[in-house]
Structure 1
Amino acid sequence: MEMEPELEWIEAQKIGISVDLVAVAKRQLKFLAAVDRNRCLYEGPVLDRAIYRYNACWLPLLSKHTETPVCEGPLVVPLDCEWIWHCHRLNPVRYKSDCEELYGKILDNSNVVSSLENTCKKETEEIWKSLYPEEPYTLDFNRALSEDISEKTCVLEKCTKYDLVSAVKRQSPFFYQVSRPHMSNDYFLKGALARYKGFLHLIRRNREKSLKRFCVPTYDIDLIWHSHQLNPVSYCKDLNEVLGKILEHDDTDSDRTKGMKLDVGFSGTTKQWEDTFGTRYWRAGAMYRGSTPTPITNTPFSSSMIKKEIAASNEHQKIIELPEVKSVEVVLEFVEVRNLPEGHKGNLFVSFCKIQPDILFDDSRKLTILSESKEEQVASFQCEPTGELLFELVSYSSSTLPLTRASRTLGTTAFSLQDLLVPIPNLYVEKWLDLVPSSGNVNLKPICLRVAISCTIPVPTQRMLHMVHPRQIKSSCFFPLPGKIKDAKSRMDVIDETGSKLISLQMRNSEKAKARENHGLKKEVIGTMKSGETHTLAETLGTGWSLMNSHWSLHPSKNSGGDWHIFELVGNKMVKFYPGRKLDYEPKSCEKHRNEQHFVTAVEFSAEDPYGKAVALLNLKSGFVKVKEEWMLVPSLISFMVFSDVVKEQYAGFVVNAKSLEEIKIITAINEGTGKEANGTSIVSSEASKIASNTDVAKGNAVIPGKGQLSSGGCGGGCGSGCGNGSGNMVGSGGCGGGCGSGCGNGFANMVDSGGCGGCGGGCGGGCGGGCGISISSSACGGCGGCGGAGGCGGCGAKFAQSDNPCAKKTPTLDVNEAVAA
């Protein structure tokens, strides 16, 4: 006989876990972050060396330590060996069998600590050196890149035959899915632990009924599951008590396509969870984030990239002070309705909005109700963690007029977000709400709506500012077109999300140097506050700019590292500007056919983020500036002014991209009255001489004829894999080719235009597209070919509503994680 949902949940929480998985999860997240800062451990010679050291050194040492402790304190495992050990343990059945075959017992992690735990490792180093005098305790990753250890590996006496290279490859993307700040929050992790017990309980029920189901966890559950497996003796003991067997962890299937094993497994797990516990399976902040963003560089950051350390300027950082705004991710579903008036069943939806709109969520959306429509729709959005959500139950019926419907409001109710967060964060609520009937609707019983809602812990949100000209003329182009009169004293107002003006910025000829000097006519950026007070925020210096009283310098890149950034911002931090949307701003697969040439991403490099962290996004066409961290606010706005000045004065609508890097340097040199870079080397090539001699360029009209000069041409395989052909005449983007995935695209652009966006080919599945745009606006997107089959849009689980997915009218899906066969 089936138990009531509440009793099932109570029974699940009785499952015993013999280790503190919340603490283990926190340590695991720190460890995964450390490995991600050393990505040479993901593949190649360093990974091969780490696997050799794991088999030849670490496991034998751990075996000795398990029999008789080899040191008074804990044994400290080297980072590279710990990473391989981590991936090996995440196949608990194979790890157990390997340990028993090679060493006669499970090698546990008791009395072993990570090298990240700030524990004295001198004793472990001495023991390691005595046992392995030719193998250093701390692996030199740079040296390991050039060493071949294949001969050493072949003669290993004790070595697992498990494919550790493939295991590492499968686990490498996991950190991206669990790397957001809320994942390490105690309340979130405690909820994840409870859900992990619920997950085990489902598998136990399946075994009791002799049902073989492929159960798929969400990422919060999977983080706790991984943490449990990292304690192999406890994991085997606990799972044998719960299930009578060691639960396998199958991470080999990653195909999320509709109808495939992972999709079917997640749908089945969702249904079983909701039938068993009477609550929703999804959780805010625990679902699939999409594929890991494309790295912008394979070369990690070195401190030598910053030539000098400069103290931050408080004076200029505080010119614009914005109140801190926090955000939460909210997931919402309308589950059921009862006490409906006659004649309304099946013809319902719920409209929802915030009673007091905030800067993140100020619109109205609608969802159907699961019990009525039989289709699970789930909305996901960000908002401030304050105020109330207003729900309006609407009944609709077909009208006598074609393609129209008559609607009628049956009642309204509200839900306070504070109920999720105060006094103790629950982060999930599912409850019945009574509706207040609208005028004219009188029922004997109040209509009730069952609402399921989840949110993440509040975190500071990025700010989005808008740069507008004080007397902005309505036009299809943000910047003046060729032939238009351009204001040499360019002004822009900085507007916040509420529409309030924060500061006015002006690019003008420097008051300090009215006449031409060795480096040409100097310019400066002036900031004018509401009070009328002005500050000089930046001024030209050589071929670059000095910002905020020399606390920052902005200069064109020499690209000696080959990662094709266009400018560098150097001060007490290192920031590089890249054309297009990168890292966290990278467009989703089905958005990749959109024009990228107007975007510039600011990426910070540091010891904590050696491969870069996106800190700002500049949209030079629409004038939006998104900033993630307060220290980057003023530098981002100044950089926007500098970039837009280059665009407006020299490119007349063209926005920088990687293929025009040389021309950027050339134009910058022309601006400053020199044909050399800062180091004195000539930058004017034969092609550059043609550009420099073109008088129209000096006037601000980019009339560069031919193919492949100022045209971005065909992106081809640059963004993915495929074929791209483009012809650019008068600054055009040509064909995006297969840049969004795999496919073929052809495009032709004429005049100042995005031209033919070719075919974004197989960006969302597979397809081929061709287009031709001949216009003086960016609206002619040629033919965006085939966003093909929606393979890239596929997924599993409950659907999101209100999608802005450009590839399909369908709602995208809440997607899933790894799987286990139970």
Structure 2
Amino acid sequence: METQMEREKEQELEWLKAQKIEITVDLLAAAKQQLQFLAAVDKNRWLYDGGFESEYFLGFSHKLYNACWLPLLAKHAESPISEGPLVVPLDCEWIWHCHRLNPLRYKSDCVELYGKILDYSDVVSSVKGACKKQTEEIWNRFYPDERYDFDLAFSEAVNEKISTLEKCTNYDLVSAVKRQSPFFYQVSRPHMNNDIFLQEAIARYKGFLHIIKRNWEKSINCFSVPTYDIDLIWHTHQLHPVSYCKDVSQALGRILAHDDMDSDRSKGKKLDVGFSGTTRHWEETFGRRYWKAGAMYRGSGPSPLTTIPFQSNILSKELEKSNQNKKIIELSEVKIVEVLLEIVGVKNLPERHKGKLFVMVNKKHPDVFFNDKRRLTILSESGEKYVASFQCEPKGELFFELVSHSSSNLPLTKLCKTMGTASFSLEDFLNPVSELSVERWVQLQPSSGEMCSKPICLRIAVSFSVPIQAPYELRMIRSRGQSKPYCFFPLSGREQHANSYTSVVEKTGAEIINLQMRNSTKAKEKERSTLNQQVTGVMKTGETCILADFVGTRWCLMDSQWYLELKMKSNEDGYLFELTGCRTVKFFQGKKLDYEPKYCKKKRSERDFMTAVEFSAENPYGKAVALLDLKSGSVKVKESWLVLPAIISAFILSDILKKEGYNGFTSNKENLEVDGLVEKAKSLNEEPEQISLTASSEGNMELNVDVAKGSIVKSGNCGDGGCEDIVSGNSSGGCGGCGGCGGGGCGDTMKSDGCGGGCGGCGGCGGGGCGGTMKSGNSGCGGCGGCGGGGCGDTMKSGNSGGGCGGCGGGCGGCGGGCGNMVRSRN
């Protein structure tokens, strides 16, 4: 019988064999180039994103691509027609990109039409800033009736011979483009461009090819589904078709097809089954986890605010760290990292040991982001896959405690026994970043008085994202006339203390600044005066400065660095307020873009929220940078440069809203009397409101677990507390989502619920609900069914076979659909 040590050695040899696969492309540099190109396409959404222009383009592109670019490329490959490389136009490059992502079809088309594969060599992407003058001159010489840079009006008069081309693929390029257009959203996070992340992705891509080879050798027919890090590298390889065909044929014996036709992530469908099988084969072959932090499905992309890109006349310039923000307030600079963690196995247990085992995980020195304990089962003992998900600072140590739980009738104090402890240093891997995925045996220190011949060991698998600037968590608390610091908006009509002010504090409790709304009087005539409002700030030094003045019909912030203006109700762009300065930020009603509700309908009305969206040359379609909760007064801010302007703006808006008597904006924008708000803003009879802010300098950090390209359906009915950020893969019956949750609702939950008629979600949870849970449940109640009042915290679970839902797999089947959820592994 094969011993555990022999099995692990065999698995390591398999991994080393996979790493010997030769790739003749610099995949690291090419992957970065692909990300740059996809970002450029996303800034020109007429290339794919609906509307008349994109529909016209998609209909015309097939002919233009075949009539102009491929023939020009073929001429250049036969005999260079340019002294340097050709610079491919952006629209043609996008169509060419999608064509190459069907490697078998691209090869057959090229061979049939031009006698050989037309490769990427001696071609430069238009997004690299290379001089395209020479290529444009050649293009105009060959195609005088077609513009080099696509122009909708100019292309109305297409030469008739384009429609009668002899050399033309009948591959449906329009559908190919539509399948590929969602891909960029999944790979657009900053860590995807990190060298260490990409190097690990390349190694995993080789492992992916090796798994497919092993399956073919064993005549196993399995639809292999990649995670998004692997998928990015797979795409990159295919974009160099000659190298791809050669490398893959040498490694596997034939060219590997890339099937992106499937996008159904439902339970039991092709992607679900494929991802489950890929996970199982990977972990059995290599002894490594297939899931990876930052490489899993993000959910569907947000709905766009506009199809017309914003043209800013503001010269964008970065705010230096020594700018006004830093002069007025001092913010702690803390890094944060996403962690996925699984306890894979345990060995060297005492022979007489009885009872169930689990592991308690916490941070040896808790930080403000991770200060509790998580309970995890052990895969080898329970047969159930639990993956903890949490965020913490990338320093200190994770602390593990192996606990034995007796099932006897002993008193509660004697039911649990600690068998050993161990620690795991985060700084060894993240300061500086050296490895982002680790799986190893960790030796436990035995409990006092216990001696054994061999130390007990835990096999721990952990994956990290690249550390980023942590969210700034700020809160505004009224210093006077307020008994409860968490009631941000006083009741309408309640008299406020004339000298009350608001303290802005960090999550640690450190005070940043004190704010106050006050009246200033300016003599206009002898017998009259005009009352204006000001927002003042009192710094920790005691110095007072003016942060904002109401001038005319708008607020002037931070010594004219920013202007906050209420837009007229006739505004057709959909936004209500505008903050302008060195950047343009518009406030829209409701949760938009990254803040868009995805997985569960909230009981809260959309009119309770306002999203701040930055428009720039880099983000012409808008980037969500802050979310204002008008009812609670809380604000989430993504960018550090916006923290102080957001504090001031939210402070001002809360004052305006209170004066107008709004508890939230009306759902009908036409009923919002903006002119009335401007007039009310001049009134000095009310005190400013209290608000709470949560600011982040880098992206939305709500969940960031991203397990799974697949099985994403919808959430079912919620309990009284509602549901927050839930991904649920519904099976045949049951309510799905967080159906049946108690009063507390569910927070940050990803779940593939049980089959059959179970309640799904975190069914059966008590009043506390479930927080941050990922679970592939059993049949029946599924979810984290049966949890008590405290609910469940930040876990991913794969449930029982048979009646269980199985993995919640799914994926991109090679590409566009993405990867599936965690696979169940219970025997």
TM-score range, shorter-chain basis? 0.7 to 0.9
Query: 1:427, CA displacement in angstroms?
Result: 1.3
**Contact 2:564–2:578 (CA under 8 A) maintained in structure 1:** yes
**Contact 1:568/1:576 (<8 A) preserved:** yes
**Match of 1:216?**
225
> Map of 1:319-330 to 2, 5 A cutoff?
319-330=328-339
1:61 aligned onto 2:67: no
1:409 CA drift (Å): 2.3
The answer to whether residue 402 in structure 2 is matched with residue 396 in structure 1 is no
Structure 1 pair 409–762 and aligned structure 2 pair: CA distance change class (3 A): closer
Work out whether residues 515 and 521 of structure 1, in 8 Å CA contact, stay in contact via their aligned partners in 2: no
Aligned residues: 729
Q: Per-residue deviation at 1:480? A: 2.1
**1:625 Cα deviation from its structure 2 partner:** 3.1
User: Which residue does 2:599 correspond to in 1?
Assistant: 589
Counterpart AA for 1:34: A
Contiguous gaps of at least 5 residues in structure 1: 675-697, 701-739, 746-753, 770-778, 782-786, 795-800
1:11 partnered with 2:17: yes
- Equivalences for 1:368-407 in 2 at 5 Å? 368-398=377-407, 406-407=415-416
Change (3 A) 1:541 1:345: farther
- Identity percentage of aligned residues: 57
Partner letter of residue 809 of structure 1? C
The secondary structure found in structure 2 opposite 1:510 is: strand
TM-superposed deviation, 1:812: 5.6
**1:446 shift after superposition:** 2.3
Structure 1 stretch displaced more, 146-155 or 637-646? 146-155
| Inter-partner Cα distance in structure 2 for 1:328 and 1:473 | 36
SS at match of 2:279: helix
Q: Deviations over 1:724-769 (max 9, x none)?
A: xxxxxxxxxxxxxxxx979999xxxxxxxx99999x9999869999
Secondary structure (helix, strand or coil) at the match of 1:217 reads coil
1:648 maps to what in 2?
658
Per the alignment, residue 131 of structure 2 pairs with: 120
Say whether the 8 Å CA contact 1:294–1:582 is kept in structure 2: yes
Check the 8 A contact 1:656/1:664 in 2, yes or no.
Answer: no
| Letter aligned with residue 327 of structure 2 | K
Determine which of 440, 444, 448 is the counterpart of 1:435: 444
Determine the structure 2 residue equivalent to 1:720.
none
CA distance in 1, matches of 2:809, 2:334: 28
In structure 2, C-alpha distance between the alignment counterparts of 1:386 and 1:368, rounded to whole Å = 25
Whole-Å Cα distance in 1 between the matches of residues 504 and 404 of structure 2?
43
Partner of 1:540: 550
| Letter of the structure 1 residue corresponding to residue 110 of structure 2 | C
State the 1:311 CA deviation. 8.6
Which residue number corresponds to residue 624 of structure 1? 634
Residue 818 of structure 1: which of 812, 815, 824 is its match? 812
d(CA) in 2 for partners of 1:660, 1:235: 54
| Alignment partner, residue 503 of structure 1 | 513
Q: Distance in 2 between matches of 1:669 and 1:589?
A: 37
Q: Is the 8 A contact 2:98 2:176 kept in 1?
A: yes
Q: Describe the shift of the 1:491–1:113 C-alpha distance in structure 2 as closer, same or farther (beyond 3 A).
A: same
Which residue is equivalent to 2:819? none
Per-residue deviation, 1:624: 3.4
1:581 is displaced (CA, Å) by 2.8
Aligned to 1:197: 206
Greater CA deviation, 120-129 or 609-618?
609-618
Which letter maps to 2:147? P
Alignment check: 8 A CA contact 1:767 1:788 kept: no
Gap change, CA 1:805 and 1:212, over 3 Å in 2? closer
SS in 1 for 2:644: helix
- Hey, what's the Cα distance between the residues in 2 that align with 1:743 and 1:425? 42
Partner of 1:809: 784
CA distance in structure 2 between the aligned counterparts of 1:790 and 1:615, rounded to whole angstroms? 37
- Post-superposition shift, 1:454? 1.4
Corresponding residue for residue 36 of structure 2: 30
Deviation of 1:50 (Å): 3.2
Distance 2:391 2:654 in 1: 30
Contact 2:395–2:431, Cα closer than 8 Å, also in 1: no
Distance, in Å, in 1 between the alignment partners of 2:511 and 2:669 is 34
TM-score normalised by length of structure 1? 0.80
Shift of 1:236: 0.7
* Contact 1:219 1:286 (C-alpha < 8 Å) held by counterparts: yes
Change beyond 3 A, Cα 1:229–1:627: same
What secondary structure does 1:572 align onto? coil
How much has 1:648 moved relative to structure 2?
2.5
Which whole-Å deviations, capped at 9, do the CAs of 1:283-309 have from their partners, x for residues lacking one?
1111111111222222211024x5999
Q: Secondary structure at the match of 1:527?
A: strand
Give the match for residue 240 of structure 2: 231
2:699 aligned partner = none
The counterpart of 1:289, out of the listed 298, 314, 317, is 298
CA drift at 1:507: 1.5
Q: 1:399 to 1:561 in 2, by over 3 A?
A: farther
Q: 1:286 to 1:256 in 2, by over 3 A?
A: same
Aligned equivalents of 1:523 and 1:128: distance in 2?
A: 62
User: d(CA) in 2 for partners of 1:392 and 1:805?
Assistant: 22
Task: Quote the Cα distance in structure 2 between the aligned partners of 1:135 and 1:628.
Answer: 43
The structural deviation recorded for 1:315 is 3.3
Asked whether the equivalents of residues 348 and 456 of structure 2 are also in contact (C-alpha less than 8 Å), the reply is yes
Q: Is the 8 A contact 1:412 1:438 kept in 2?
A: yes
1:79-228 equivalence runs, <5 A: 79-140=90-151, 143=153, 147=156, 154-228=163-237
What SS does the corresponding residue of 1:637 show, helix, strand or coil? helix
Report the residue type matching 1:233 in the other structure.
V
Report the counterpart of residue 84 of structure 2 in structure 1. 73
SS in 1 for 2:328: coil
Cα distance between partner residues in 2 of 1:278 and 1:12 = 13
Aligned letter for 2:128?
E
8 Å Cα contact 1:793/1:812 also seen in 2 = no
Seen in structure 2, the aligned counterparts of structure 1 residues 454 and 83 have a Cα distance that, compared at 3 Å, is same
| Structure 2 residue 595 is matched with structure 1 residue 601 | no
Sort the Cα spacing of 1:177 and 1:438 in 2 relative to 1 into closer, same or farther, 3 A. same
For 2:575 and 2:773, locate their aligned partners in 1 and report how far apart those are by CA, in whole Å: 30
Give the equivalent residue in structure 1 for 2:644.
Answer: 634
Q: Which amino acid aligns with 1:364?
A: K
Matched, 1:528 2:529: no
State the AA in 2 paired with 1:211: I
Instruction: Check whether the contact 1:57–1:132 (CA below 8 A) recurs between aligned residues.
Output: yes
In structure 1, the residue matched to 2:463 is 454
Distance in 1 (alpha carbons) for counterparts of 2:258 and 2:560: 55
- Matched letter for residue 195 of structure 1: R
Instruction: Specify the code of the residue in structure 1 equivalent to 2:46.
Output: C
Aligned: 1:271 with 2:307:
no
User: For 1:378-426, what per-residue CA distance to the aligned partner results, in whole angstroms no more than 9, with x for missing partners?
Assistant: 1122222111111122222347599999433222211001222356612
Does the 8 A contact of 1:598 with 1:620 survive in 2?
Answer: yes
Q: Which amino acid aligns with 1:568?
A: E
Matched, 1:573 2:567: no
Report the Cα distance in structure 2 between the residues aligned to 1:162 and 1:54, rounded to whole angstroms.
Answer: 12
1:492 maps to 2:502:
yes
Amino acid at match of 2:81: V
How far is 1:610 from its partner? 0.6
The answer to whether the Cα contact below 8 Å between 1:590 and 1:763 also exists between their aligned partners in 2 is no
Q: Name the CA distance, whole Å, in 2 between partners of 1:257 and 1:673.
A: 55
The residue that corresponds to 2:701 in the other structure is: none
Question: 1:743–1:761: 8 Å Cα contact kept in structure 2?
Answer: no
Distance in 2 (alpha carbons) for counterparts of 1:27 and 1:153:
31
Deviations 1:201-242 (A, max 9, x none): 111111111221111111111111000000011111111111
Whole-angstrom distance in 1 between the partners of 2:528 and 2:91: 54
